[in-house]
Structure 1
């Protein structure tokens, strides 16, 4: 039995990189949602935050979560492909 160590290292490196990227994008989505919630709560408290509810943060959070969902679906397609 002969193991192709180079291919194994490439697969491990790419898997690690994609995992870190997906986790970072998900964390950015959570951060955007929490900042939006903070802006909304400060506005309700009478602070009148600039930008109101900041719809850009909500759109950014949705974009981050959609990217994560696409990565998961792509991974499942790769696993299920014949």
Structure 2
């Protein structure tokens, strides 16, 4: 049995980058929702923060769905 170390390293690198990006995107969504709540408490409008947060969550869901698609197909 021979291990292709270059392919293994490539998979590791891509997995690491995608994981960090997905966690960062989810964190941006959480931060956007907290900004929206803080602005609402001050009596302001925070539609942009809510929209950005929902967009981040939608991108996270799309990435997860794409990963499941890659596994199934």
Q: Indicate the TM-score class for this superposition, using the shorter chain for normalisation.
A: over 0.9
* Corresponding residue number in structure 1 for 2:57: 65
Distance in structure 1 (CA, Å) of the matches to 2:45 and 2:28: 18
Q: Give the alignment's TM-score, normalised by structure 1.
A: 0.86
1:55 to 40, 47, 50: 47
Residue ranges of structure 1 left out of the alignment (5+ in a row): 44-51
Gaps of 5+ in 2: none
Runs of 4+ in 1 over 6 A off after TM superposition: none
Q: RMSD over aligned Cα, in angstroms?
A: 0.6
CA distance in 2, matches of 1:80, 1:12: 20
The count of corresponding residues between Structure 1 and Structure 2 is 73
Could you tell me how far apart the structure 1 residues matched to 2:4 and 2:56 are?
36
1:74 maps to 66
Q: Find the structure with the greater CA-based Rg.
A: 1
